[in-house]
A and B are shown apart, each in its own frame.
Chain A
Amino acid sequence: MTEKRNIAIIGAGIAGQEAASVLAGLGYKVTLLEKQERMGGMLNKWSKLFPDFSSSQQILDTVQVSANKNLSVICNADISSITKENGRFELSDNSSLKVYADLVLLATGYNLFDATLKEEYGYGVFENVITSVDFEKVHKSGKKLTTLLGKEPRRVAIIHCVGSRDAKSGNTYCSKVCCITGVKQAIEVTRMWPDCEVFNFYMDLRLYGSKYDSLYLEAQKHHKVQFIRGRLSEISERQDKGLQLKAEDTLQGRPLRMNADIVILLVGMEACEQNADLCRNNTLDLDENRFFKSKNIHYARNISTQPGIFMAGSCICPMSVNETLESSRSAAFLVDKSFRSVQVEE
């Protein structure tokens, strides 16, 4: 029966690919739709993963799917509409592409917060202010992080919660993975430049995962990373293109002014802008953070508010890589279960 069932998966990041792999393996006809030229999604931008510094490429290679008799992959397919007619879903992009499916799995992932919106941090204005994604790009290239003038940084500041837990940015939720990313990147900076001082400015460290706390301790004990509890108020550029930071050290209860050669902004995860388009012609709904709303946050996390549409990965909420993969398998299981229950009824 399974080979007669068509499933469309929107998004071929690791969530979409993992779910596609499971469902195609079960014999369903899966169409995987990716808006970019190539699969892999946001993980393509990452170099190493927390907490073990394993290669993101290794994960990409592991989940990589290829077309087979049960799986077709369509790239450059920016799906903007999902409608349901006569019991089938019709997915279309802004051109002539139309895909029909019995069930749909959303794996659209997330967007990165646009750091230029935090004007006071000067991203895009001061060249030595970079984002965590820019840092990953440098790391992935195999080069060392240097200042704009190509010099070894003597001091690097890493700023947590840029575009997360911040009403001014319109994102009051926690992006969850930034704290541990900040710890990871702090260690990576000290591995590049052992004499470089690294300061992490945080609100509170939300290190929720297995082995995350031990990485935090390692950063302090073995890499001399200093953690300052305080939110940055502004960054200014000095005459030598170095940066001046103003913050408050909330543990000491004192304002703080510091110079740094490079600042890394840990940009948060945001819901994709296309989510709103995908909700237009059906009963899909978004939550207060603009991610897809689950039918029930506890027992139906992967089930959307539109019957027949499921969800996987960080289109539901910010997730780490391992959570994303677990979420995908869970979604695939629920899709299979859904078909089977229909089959029993038939």
Chain B
Amino acid sequence: MMKNSQVTVTKEIADDNYFYLRSCIRQNFFPGAEKVFLDILKNKLGKNIIDNANHISCTGIGYHSDIVPYETYQAMVARQFALMTEQGLKNAAVSCITSYGGYNEVMKTWKEFPEEEAKARKNLKNATGRRFEIPENISHSCDIIYKFRHDIAELAQYKLINKQTGKPLRIVDHIGCHYAKIFPEKGIGGAEQNTVLSAIVEAWGGQSVDYPERRHCCGFGFRHYLVKNNRSYSISNSKKKFESMEPYCPDMIITNCPGCNMFLDKWQYALAKIEGKTYSGDKNGIPVLSYEELAGLVLGYNPWDIGLQMHQVDVEPLLKKMRFDYNPDEKYLDAGGKFMGQPEFTGCLP
């Protein structure tokens, strides 16, 4: 079982009335994840959450690649906050880990250097005529799922149990670096022994499994991936993680960062192409799900409605372990019921 942190890090997580800040990567690569998060909050938990179409990319990838200057970044944050202020909301719910780290960085900057906040206010006013209030609470959306994990457990239709063996599903987690490594007090459990995902897994009946490289970067690392010449460095980091988790025979990987989710999912395929091997003992690979997707499964959402067919590593073996009631024939049908095409094969090796 996952060991609990010796250092108690608690943070305040708002319990209602959120302004949702989406993730570029999540909504592009795993489009059902944010949809199901919003649906769970609105329709299962009865919360008020506003998804404003006017908000923009946080530009975090550009910022961390030295393309977007910090001044511009602050103006972007100011604009997001202005949209929230205009809707009368004070609690930000952030989907992306990079954005979450970025918002916290800007908040810290403004606290330490008030002149930077004044400059951002001026820049925003000049550019858009908008004004903003500082949010009362900034939580990552995994914090919100963590906060309501027991409520979700009460509504659950499925537990994280391997029905074939009767034992809890063995789940390894990967915490995005920018969730708590920049500001340890902003992550449940702190930077080193983070418990936000392990607590979710255990609340839903699964077994959280520790592994040596749990804290290692997924391999994204921004410029390590974005600069083509550095991609071998990126993928070698992912390989290190998979090698580390392989002996524990995990049933799945849970992540809280959209980028990590994408890398840990798709790099398994890339590594299989390079090395001809997977780390799951079969040709499929280890399924990688985000906390919203896992919450969706626990609550009994149709896996194809929440976009699980968009994953490189096929989630069907996991669904079968859970004896999940689903229709495999609907896997590649679009929202209108039309066939939308399908990949040559799923998983990592044909």
Q: Which residues of A contact B (CB under 8 A)?
A: 116-117, 119-120, 122-126, 234, 236-239, 244
User: Across the interface, which residues of A come within 8 angstroms of B210, CB to CB?
Assistant: 236-237
A117, A125, A238: the one within 8 Å of B3 (CB) = A125
A sample of 7 more A-B contacts (CB under 8 A), given A119-B190, A125-B4, A234-B192, is: A119-B192, A122-B3, A125-B3, A236-B213, A236-B214, A237-B3, A238-B212
Per the bound structure, the CA–CA distance linking A117 and B193 in Å amounts to 11
List 12 A–B pairs whose Cβ atoms lie within 8 Å, in order of A's numbering: A116-B7, A119-B5, A119-B6, A119-B191, A120-B192, A120-B215, A122-B3, A123-B6, A125-B3, A234-B215, A236-B213, A238-B212
Per the bound structure, the CA–CA distance linking A126 and B2 in Å amounts to 11
Is B247 interfacial (CB-CB < 8 Å)? yes
User: Across the interface, which residues of A come within 8 angstroms of B215, CB to CB?
Assistant: 120, 234, 236
Q: B335 CB to closest chain A CB, in angstroms?
A: 43
Is B183 interfacial (CB-CB < 8 Å)? no
Q: B90 CB to closest chain A CB, in angstroms?
A: 32
A116 near B6 (CB under 8 angstroms)? Answer: yes
Q: B13 CB to closest chain A CB, in angstroms?
A: 21
B230-272, CB < 8 A from A: 247-248
User: Scoring B residues 206 to 239 as 1 if CB is less than 8 Å from chain A, else 0, what string do you get?
Assistant: 0000111111000000000000000000000000
User: Across the interface, which residues of A come within 8 angstroms of B191, CB to CB?
Assistant: 119-120
B192 near A244 (CB under 8 angstroms)? Answer: no
Per the bound structure, the CA–CA distance linking A234 and B181 in Å amounts to 13
Q: B164 CB to closest chain A CB, in angstroms?
A: 23
Q: Interface residues of B: mostly helix, strand, loop or mixed?
A: loop
Nearest chain-B residue to A121 (Cβ)?
B192
How many interface residues does B have (CB within 8 Å)?
A: 17
Most buried by A among B192, B215, B247: B192
Q: Which residues of B contact A (CB under 8 A)?
A: 3-7, 190-193, 210-215, 247-248
Q: Contacts A234-B215, A237-B210, A237-B212: A119 and B3 contacting too (C-beta < 8 A)?
A: no
Most buried by B among A116, A117, A236, A238: A236
Per the bound structure, the CA–CA distance linking A238 and B244 in Å amounts to 9
A126 near B7 (CB under 8 angstroms)? Answer: no
Per the bound structure, the CA–CA distance linking A239 and B244 in Å amounts to 10
Q: A236 CB to closest chain B CB, in angstroms?
A: 4
How many residue pairs link A and B with beta carbons under 8 A? The number is 40
A117 near B212 (CB under 8 angstroms)? Answer: no
Q: Contacts A125-B193, A234-B192, A239-B247: A119 and B7 contacting too (C-beta < 8 A)?
A: yes
User: Across the interface, which residues of A come within 8 angstroms of B3, CB to CB?
Assistant: 122, 125-126, 237
Q: A166 CB to closest chain B CB, in angstroms?
A: 14
Per the bound structure, the CA–CA distance linking A126 and B193 in Å amounts to 11
Most buried by A among B190, B191, B212: B212
Per the bound structure, the CA–CA distance linking A123 and B192 in Å amounts to 12
User: Across the interface, which residues of A come within 8 angstroms of B192, CB to CB?
Assistant: 119-120, 122, 234
User: Across the interface, which residues of A come within 8 angstroms of B211, CB to CB?
Assistant: 236, 239
Nearest chain-B residue to A114 (Cβ)?
B6
Nearest chain-B residue to A168 (Cβ)?
B184
B214 near A125 (CB under 8 angstroms)? Answer: no
Per the bound structure, the CA–CA distance linking A234 and B194 in Å amounts to 14
Most buried by A among B6, B215, B248: B6
B213 near A119 (CB under 8 angstroms)? Answer: no
User: Across the interface, which residues of B come within 8 angstroms of A237, CB to CB?
Assistant: 3, 210, 212
Per the bound structure, the CA–CA distance linking A244 and B248 in Å amounts to 15
User: Across the interface, which residues of B come within 8 angstroms of A234, CB to CB?
Assistant: 192, 215
User: Across the interface, which residues of A come within 8 angstroms of B248, CB to CB?
Assistant: 239
Q: A60 CB to closest chain B CB, in angstroms?
A: 32
Nearest chain-A residue to B2 (Cβ)?
A125
Nearest chain-B residue to A127 (Cβ)?
B3
Q: A233 CB to closest chain B CB, in angstroms?
A: 10
User: Across the interface, which residues of B come within 8 angstroms of A236, CB to CB?
Assistant: 210-215
User: Across the interface, which residues of B come within 8 angstroms of A126, CB to CB?
Assistant: 3
Per the bound structure, the CA–CA distance linking A146 and B212 in Å amounts to 21
User: Across the interface, which residues of B come within 8 angstroms of A125, CB to CB?
Assistant: 3-6, 193
B6 near A244 (CB under 8 angstroms)? Answer: no
Per the bound structure, the CA–CA distance linking A116 and B4 in Å amounts to 12
Nearest chain-A residue to B5 (Cβ)?
A119
Per the bound structure, the CA–CA distance linking A137 and B193 in Å amounts to 27
Q: A118 CB to closest chain B CB, in angstroms?
A: 9
Per the bound structure, the CA–CA distance linking A275 and B5 in Å amounts to 29
